[in-house]
Amino acid sequence: MERVVKHLGLVDYEPTWRAMQALTDARTAGTADELWVLEHPAVYTLGLAGKEEHLLRRTEIPVVKTDRGGQVTYHGPGQLVVYLLVDFKRMDIGVRELVRRIEQAVIDTLAEAGIKANGDVNAPGVYVDGAKIASLGLRIKNGAVYHGLSFNVDMDLTPFGWINPCGYANLRVTRLKDLGVSWTVAETAKRLLPHIERHLAVTERTE
């Protein structure tokens, strides 16, 4: 079944999250998977297990308590967000393997720019020399995935300094621009999406 890709531009977090929930709740076996490609205005999101103490400073940036996994992270213009609305049952893999495949899509994209990156089994995401460049947060409900990944392209990283990113004190973050890569968010999406499609491809099983 073909996957639908929607380019939504700069959209507020909360209505986008509610739309993900609605699509997931309305899913049937015949519902196509969707990838939503977008940016968010400045917002902190706090995962299901998120602890308020990881917000180190109160600012004018809104805080939204959401239903993905993980702790606190920051979204803002210049960061590529890809939400994965996927029927997990079709993939016939475990959650850890799903996370690894999403991370690998980002790693492969960075490799196109000559950048060596890695995942971390204990702290999901993608890292370059120990600095986090992409974050993952997923929710699985009734066998379907929503939420997804954020990839720092050319954004203001200052607000990350006002939190413990993903619950880790003093975690360094980086962005493509600081690594000498001048891709726009749109260019980064164009390079990333084929890798996501490849790594999330459903292998049809024959009985």
Q: Please write the tens of the pLDDT for every residue from 108-127.
A: 999 999 999 999 988 899 99
Contacts of 106 (CB under 8 A, 6+ apart): 117, 126, 133, 134, 149, 151, 192, 195
Task: Show which residues are catalytic.
Answer: 166
Residue 197 pLDDT level (bands cut at 50, 70, 90): very high
- The answer to whether the CB of 102 falls within 8 A of the CB of 148 is yes
Residue 205 pLDDT level (bands cut at 50, 70, 90): very low
- Calculate mean pLDDT across residues 80-98: 93
Residue 74 annotated as part of some ligand binding site: yes
Residue 207 pLDDT level (bands cut at 50, 70, 90): very low
Please tell me the predicted confidence (pLDDT) of residue 44. 95
Nearest one of 47, 73, 199, 191 to 134, comparing CA atoms: 73
Residue 131 reports pLDDT greater than 50:
yes
Sketch out the chain's domains with CATH numbers: 4-199 (3.30.930.10)
Residue 40 annotated as part of some ligand binding site: no
Residue 136 annotated as part of some ligand binding site: yes
Please tell me the predicted confidence (pLDDT) of residue 203. 52
Nearest one of 93, 159, 142 to 150, comparing CA atoms: 159
* pLDDT: which is higher, 156 or 3: 156
* pLDDT: which is higher, 55 or 82: 82
Judged by average pLDDT, the poorest of 84-93, 102-111, 117-126, 161-170 is 161-170
Residue 33 reports pLDDT greater than 70:
yes
What's the token pair of residue 70? 């993980």
Residue 1 pLDDT level (bands cut at 50, 70, 90): low
Distances (CA, A) of 142 to 71, 77, 146, 188, 202: 22, 32, 11, 31, 18
What would the DSSP string read from start to end of 100-128?
A: HHHHHHHHHHHHHTT---B--TTS-SEEE
Which secondary structure element, helix H or strand E, spans residue 86, and what is its range?
strand 79-87
Residue 192 reports pLDDT greater than 70:
yes
Residue 182 annotated as part of some ligand binding site: no
Which residue's structure tokens are 């986008």? Answer: 16
Residue 8 annotated as part of some ligand binding site: no
